[in-house]
Structure 1
Amino acid sequence: MTRLISLSGLFFCAFPVWAEVGDSMSILTTLGSLIFVVAIILVLALLLKKMRLPALGHQKDLMIIRQLPIGTKEKLLVVQAGEEQFLVGATSHSIQLISKLEQPLTSKSQAAEHPFAGQLNRFLKKE
């Protein structure tokens, strides 16, 4: 504790205007709290950026049936628009239509594609 007080004393000797504000521990507590809140905001912003939140409105006429990652930011997508399906290549900079599928792929059910999501939905429907 005395070491912390001596370090704060050195800090306030460098900034004498802050030493006049009040108790050094209250200023250190305030600065620590501020840094903590800013860090939490940055972490939450990073998490929200990494999470892929679904669109608020479900679009029934346009949806992704399948996707296959090719690289870090490249993927092949099978997109259904109405009754037609298209094979599309997507990168971080562009989207290219590769071809229209003559025989549409059937979409997998959510339980078969994501077993945990299916179990969670069944559990939530019971309650």
Structure 2
Amino acid sequence: MSLVLVIGVVLMLGYLMRRFNVTQTGSSQMQVVASMMTGARERIVVIQVGDEQHLIGITAHNINHLTKLETPIQPDNPGAKFKSRFNQLLQKQAQSGRED
């Protein structure tokens, strides 16, 4: 029973990491600023290379440069997003536990 529980926790953490894009991306020269899923296997990504930001489209078979951004956007912080979403879920769970 405990083995099933451990495997379930590992799978759930893997799903959460993929869902909230909690991965170490980028280096000092190139990093992912923002990304958005547009389909099952498609996404649009803003990458920063040096001082320039580029919008690229990624599919299962292609990576296409869409445009260079004239006005840069501020980088997302995936860890902060995950933390705030996780805290919201914990608060909802605590409130529903008090109501029972």
User: TM-score by structure 2 length?
Assistant: 0.55
Contact 1:111 1:118 (C-alpha < 8 Å) held by counterparts: no
What are the equivalent positions in structure 2 for 1:1-127 lying under 5 Å apart?
Answer: 54=23, 59-115=27-83
Separation (CA, whole Å) in 1 of partners of 2:49 and 2:81: 21
Number of equivalences = 73
User: What 5-or-longer segments of structure 1 have no aligned partner?
Assistant: 1-42, 120-127
User: TM-score by structure 1 length?
Assistant: 0.45
Query: What is the RMSD of the two structures over their aligned residues, measured on CA atoms?
Result: 3.4
Contact 2:26 2:32 (C-alpha < 8 Å) held by counterparts: no
User: What 5-or-longer segments of structure 2 have no aligned partner?
Assistant: 1-6, 88-100
Percent of aligned pairs sharing the same letter: 28
| Larger RCO (CA under 8 A, 6+ residues apart) | 2
Which aligned runs of 4 or more in structure 1 are off by greater than 2 angstroms?
Answer: 50-55, 108-114, 116-119
Structure number having the greater strand percentage: 2
User: Which residue of structure 1 aligns with residue 91 of structure 2?
Assistant: none
